[in-house]
Structure 1
Amino acid sequence: MTIHENGSGPTLTTGEHDGELSERLERELVAFNTTASGAGDYGSFSVKVADGAGELVGGLTAWTWGGLCGISMLWVREDCRMDGWGSKILLAAEKEARTRGCDRVAVSSFTFQAPGFYQHHGYTETGRTLGIPGGNADVHMFKSLTD
């Protein structure tokens, strides 16, 4: 859907995911957040585990900013979930976060995913976002890396 305002004015468009727009918004928000907070050391990293055949076993993506590490995604292949890979990946990410100067980590997990896993690793619930499909919630958690 496209809406034009007064012929030569702004155009509002909705549609499918726009990768270029996502990248631009991220750049703009990082610049704004850096200026507003005074913390300018934004970065990102990943942790990846592959099996002997090169197939993905699991992985994690995260960002860092001003001493905070935010875990974006952590996933382990179903047939490998009881092998301890989730813990190994999380511990590797925490180590990398420390290497990058972070002293705390934030993550969220839907109630049907893994909040208990994070709590087992020392994360404390700080709040919930309600309204996740199926009557679930998004559990927000935090861990200090200085303990």
Structure 2
Amino acid sequence: MSEATKPAQGQGAALTVGEHDPELVKRLEDGLDAFNAAATGHAEEAEFSVRVTDADGELIGGLSARAWGGLCDIHLLWVREDSRGQGWGAKLLRAAEEEGIRRGCDRAAVSSYTFQAPEFYQRQGYEEVGRLPGIPGGHEDVFLYKKLG
């Protein structure tokens, strides 16, 4: 791991740039969660996942999400290539939405690159609410939203 240390303002302070640091990420998450809870009054955040496996126990696909402040935030959804087009993505997404509702969510959000599946989410009732240009290959990051219930 190569790191670069640069002088920082303040006596004894050091600014370090390096590889992924799980301990740092945990500290940042804890600090930001505390700040967000103080600002919004919503401290409870619950991450959850949904998976589907075949008869041999091999992963067909899965989804990871979190419920926070009434929002079901979909992080990742993936279905292996030989199982696409069989409805697994919709089933995974619907299961996550239902779990979000069970956890008090009344809305859901997800982002998908234009080369991935924004049209899939739109077919599931999500509305596009914004785009971020500048993704390699001339693509964009599409942000989508859906009211649950």
TM-score when normalising by structure 1: 0.94
Q: Which amino acid in 1 is paired with 2:134?
A: G
Of 59, 62, 66, 2:65 maps to 62
User: What's the C-alpha RMSD, in Å, of the aligned pairs?
Assistant: 1.4
Query: Cα offset for 1:142?
Result: 0.3
CA distance in 2, matches of 1:57, 1:16: 31
* Aligned-partner SS, 1:93: helix
Query: Cα offset for 1:7?
Result: 9.3
Query: Cα offset for 1:25?
Result: 1.1
- Identity across aligned pairs (percent)? 58
Partner residue, 1:12: 15
CA distance in 1, matches of 2:9, 2:89: 54
Greater Cα shift, 130-139 or 6-15: 6-15
TM-score when normalising by structure 2: 0.93
Question: Where does the alignment leave 5 or more consecutive residues of structure 2 unmatched?
Answer: none
User: Which 4+ stretches in 1 moved above 2 angstroms?
Assistant: 4-8
CA distance in 1, matches of 2:52, 2:142: 26
Question: Where does the alignment leave 5 or more consecutive residues of structure 1 unmatched?
Answer: none
Query: Cα offset for 1:67?
Result: 0.6
Greater Cα shift, 109-118 or 33-42: 33-42
Of 40, 43, 47, 2:43 maps to 40
How many equivalent residue pairs? 146
Partner residue, 2:99: 96
